[in-house]
Amino acid sequence: MRQPQKYWTLFLQGDDRALGELYHVLFEPMVFVAYHRVKNMEHARDIVSELFVSLLATSTEARRMKWKNVESIQAYLTTAVKNKAIDYLRTKKSHVEILTLLPQEHAQEQETDMSILEELIHYPKKETELFQLHLDGYSNTEIAEKKMISEKTVRNKLSMTRRKMALHYKSFLTLALWMIAH
């Protein structure tokens, strides 16, 4: 049994440390796969790291059910990384398209918008979608109905996204002013 496959088998059996070993063995090759798609080393590393974090967040029982038929962990992870890179590029493209629709009147506001949208790229897709709907003027109730989730979940996710953004921005005032304007 090849080392990566051995670690994968142990991980499926509930040994989280085995995923750490798998990470050390496959991280760089997977970063290369992501970089080939996104052409940015930092984003490529983030994509691979997020993938491993999502694997670790899966319960042992769910792991067995979901991945019991994976014959080659390298092939599986390569495909997963490619898909995450494509998702990243789609999100990035949609943010750039959104920015082109913004009025050209306020250069400073656009710079802040760009900065915030660039930051959103790093957030989970669902958080980004909810926040974008919020920015588009949907109420929490409308977002909840549209996404078929509870209004409380929408409030919590939007609040969590705002807190993350506040941590990212050294100047909370800039973020607060931007959020008031939108």
Is the residue at 50 inside a domain?
A: yes
In this predicted structure, what is the pLDDT of residue 94? 55
pLDDT tens-digit map of 76-133: 999 999 999 888 888 776 555 545 544 444 455 555 555 666 666 677 888 888 877 8
Q: Which residue has the tokens 């899966």?
A: 58
| In a shared domain, residues 108 and 36 | no
| Closest to 123 in 3D by CA, of 67, 164, 175 | 164
Specify whether the CB–CB gap between 81 and 47 falls below 8 A.
Answer: yes
CB 159 within 8 A of CB 130: no
Least reliable range by pLDDT among 11-20, 85-94, 170-179: 170-179
70: CB partners within 8 A, 6+ apart: 8, 76
Q: Is residue 162 part of a domain?
A: yes
Q: Given a cut of 60, is residue 178 above it in pLDDT?
A: no
With bands split at pLDDT 50, 70 and 90, how would you rate the model's confidence at 39?
A: confident
| Residues 55, 29 within the same domain | yes
pLDDT band of residue 169 (cuts 50, 70, 90) is low
* pLDDT surpasses 50 at 14: yes
More confident residue, 37 or 103: 37
Domain boundaries, position 157: 102-181
CATH number for the domain that contains residue 177: 1.10.10
Cα-trace Rg, the chain: 19
What is the pLDDT, as a whole number, of residue 34? 92
- Which pTM was predicted? 0.52
Contact assessment for residue 50 and residue 31, using Cβ atoms and an 8 Å cutoff: no
Give pLDDT tens digits for 142-158: 889 988 999 898 888 88
Do 117 and 82 lie in a common domain?
Answer: no
Q: Domain ends where: 88, 112, 147? A: 88
What is the chain's mean pLDDT, rounded?
Answer: 79
Q: What is the pLDDT of residue 136?
A: 75
In a domain, 110, yes or no: yes
Q: Tell me the mean pLDDT in the region 56-77.
A: 90
